[in-house]
């Protein structure tokens, strides 16, 4: 099915090609095409090469969306299972990595939606470190370190309470610093839809912050 | 408290240390084992599942309508017995033809 594709230079998706770490050497992409051709012809064992090559990237992505560390491996396994089942859908007109990352984003989004109902809606149980960090910020914002673990825990707590689409957009736009066009390419949403969701997500985050501060100081 | 500044500070904290892409030992083997143990994807499975669900829905709807027809009182129903109603229905066309002749 993929014969003759190995020598083709992928045209690629322009939005995805600009991503950090994307747009690898054509030789690597050729090798992906060869591996995929072999897997599609029944040599399932060669799929391991793809798993070994791209799993670090997938683990890094899944860490951003999983609720617990134990969930990360399940999410990445799910991504690989889907990739294997849909491997024949990869047409080779864009690098395999782009196709895989789109699949990964969709799987992470599905995982967020599955656990949507389990979100807790309270900030009353802030840890001492988190409370201290907030108090330091309230007293003198410049002294509250961005490197502090407490600050990261606070962000994780906030993101946990955002609806799935908002969390996805905030993570990709504000934390991973991707462009709107890249997010549109990865999620399959239109550019205007991404912008609307980003606007809404920022407003929701602001409301959550206000509530967190109110619950802490009242 | 300046919420804008707080939001920017927290997002900067999240950016400061990106998650590591450490892959657990033997992960590739586990993925392959799972692939081999899972049944091959059947392209007809989705359709078959859909048809079964549709068939079940239709059967349930038919049952409900049947029950409703049997139980619900017909508006303007006559007190005639069933055999008389059947006779009227069967001969309705004949009666109508006779009436139109006269």
Query: Is the CB of B73 inside 8 Å of chain A's CB atoms?
Result: no
The answer to whether residue A111 sits within a structural domain is yes
Whole-number pLDDT of residue B69: 85
Inter-residue contact A28 to A36 (CB < 8 Å):
no
Answer yes or no: do A125 and A105 share one domain. no
- A134-157 pLDDT tens trace: 888 888 878 777 777 888 888 988
A84-130 pLDDT tens trace: 999 998 888 889 999 999 999 999 999 999 877 655 556 777 888 88
- Asked whether the beta carbons of residue A213 and residue B1 sit closer than 8 angstroms, the reply is yes
User: Residue A189 is inside which H or E element, if any?
Assistant: none
User: Nearest CA of chain B to the CA of A77: how many Å?
Assistant: 6
- Its domain, for residue B60, covers 45-71
Which pLDDT belongs to residue A195? 96
**Between vectors from CA B34 to CA B30 and to CA B35, what angle results, nearest 5°?**
120
Q: Average pLDDT, whole number, for chain A?
A: 82
- Please enumerate in sequence order all residues whose Cβ is within 8 A of that of A20, keeping only pairs 6 or more positions apart, or say none: none
If asked whether residues A111 and A169 sit together in one domain, one would say no
Report CB contact under 8 Å: B35, A81. yes
Structure tokens at B36: 């081999």
The pair of structure tokens assigned to A120 is 């807790």
What's the alpha-carbon Rg for chain A, to the nearest Å?
20
> ipTM of this model?
0.74
pTM of the model: 0.69
pLDDT at residue A116, as a whole number: 75
Same domain, A155 and A198: yes
A40 domain-assigned: yes
pLDDT (average), residues A41-59: 92
When divided into structural domains, chain B yields a total of 1
Q: Do A81 and A158 belong to one domain?
A: no
Chain A residues within 8 Å of chain B (Cβ atoms): 44-45, 47-48, 51-52, 55-60, 63-64, 73, 76-77, 80-81, 84-85, 137-138, 141, 144, 146-148, 151-152, 154-156, 158, 174-175, 177, 202, 205-206, 209-210, 213
Distances (CA, A) of A199 to A84, A110, A157, A194, B17: 36, 21, 20, 9, 25
Q: Give the whole-angstrom CA distance, residue A111 versus residue A64.
A: 12
In angstroms, the CA A9 to CA A5 distance is 9
Token output for B64: 């409900």
Give the CATH number of the domain where residue A109 resides.
Answer: 1.10.1740.10
Angle between helices B3-16 and A149-160 (to 10 degrees): 110
Residues A153 and A197 in one domain: yes
Calculate mean pLDDT across residues A153-174.
92
**Which tokens belong to A89?**
């859908």
Report the run of H or E that residue A179 belongs to, with start and end.
Answer: none
- Domain's final residue, options A116, A135, A166: A116
Confirm whether B64 is domain-assigned. yes
Residue A199 clears pLDDT 80, i.e. is over it: yes
Token reading at B49: 């599942």
Contact between A154 and A130 under an 8 Å Cβ cutoff? The reply is yes
**Separation of alpha carbons B52 and A110, rounded Å:** 25
The larger pLDDT score, comparing residue B40 to residue A7, is at B40
For residue A118, what pLDDT is reported?
54
Question: Model confidence over A63-85: pLDDT tens digits?
Answer: 999 888 888 999 999 999 999 99
Domain extent, residue A24, equals: 14-116
Distance of CA B40 to the CA centre of its chain: 26
CA distance A15 to A7: 23
Partners of B17 on chain A (C-beta within 8 Å) are 147, 152
As for how many domains chain A has, the answer is 2
- Asked if A51's CB is within 8 angstroms of B31's CB, the reply is yes
CA distances from B11 to A109, A111, A154, A194, A200 (A): 20, 22, 10, 19, 16
Q: pLDDT tens for residues A1-35?
A: 333 333 333 434 445 544 444 444 444 445 889 99
Please give the pLDDT value at position A180: 96
Q: What is the 3-state secondary structure (H, E, C) of A22-87?
A: CCCCHHHHHHHHHHHHHHHCCCHHHHHHHHHHHHHHHHHHHHHHCCCHHHHHHHHHHHHHHHHHCH
Q: B28, A48: Cβ pair inside 8 Å? A: yes
Is B57 among the domain residues?
Answer: yes
Separation CA A180–CA A51 (nearest Å): 28
């Amino acid at each position: 099915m993929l014969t003759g594709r190995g020598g083709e230079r992928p045209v690629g998706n322009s939005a995805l090609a600009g991503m950090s770490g994307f747009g690898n050497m054509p030789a690597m992409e050729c090798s992906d095409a060869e591996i995929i051709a072999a897997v599609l012809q029944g040599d399932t064992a060669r799929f391991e090469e793809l798993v070994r090559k791209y799993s670090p990237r997938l683990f890094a992505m899944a860490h951003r969306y999983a609720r617990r560390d134990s969930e990360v491996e399940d999410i990445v396994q799910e991504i690989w299972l889907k990739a294997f089942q849909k491997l024949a859908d990869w047409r080779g007109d864009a690098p395999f990595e782009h196709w895989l990352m789109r699949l990964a984003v969709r799987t992470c989004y599905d995982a967020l939606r599955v656990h949507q109902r389990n979100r807790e809606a309270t900030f009353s149980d802030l840890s001492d470190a988190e409370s201290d960090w907030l108090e330091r910020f309230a007293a003198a914002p410049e002294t509250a370190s961005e490197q502090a673990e407490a600050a990261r825990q606070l962000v994780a707590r906030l993101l946990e309470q955002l609806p799935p689409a908002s969390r996805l957009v905030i993570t990709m736009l504000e934390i991973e610093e991707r462009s709107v066009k890249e997010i549109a390419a990865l999620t399959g949403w239109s550019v205007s839809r991404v912008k609307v969701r980003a606007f809404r997500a920022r407003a929701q985050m602001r409301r959550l912050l206000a509530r967190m501060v109110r619950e802490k100081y009242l | 408290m300046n919420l804008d500044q707080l939001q920017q500070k927290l997002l900067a904290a999240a950016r400061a240390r990106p998650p590591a892409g450490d892959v657990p030992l033997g992960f590739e083997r586990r993925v392959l084992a799972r692939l081999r143990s899972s049944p091959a994807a059947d392209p007809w499975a989705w359709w078959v599942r859909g048809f079964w669900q549709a068939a079940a829905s239709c059967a349930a709807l038919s049952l409900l309508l049947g029950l409703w027809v049997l139980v619900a009182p017909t508006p303007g129903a006559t007190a005639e017995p069933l055999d008389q109603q059947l006779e009227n229905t069967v001969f309705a066309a004949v009666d109508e033809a006779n009436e139109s002749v006269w």
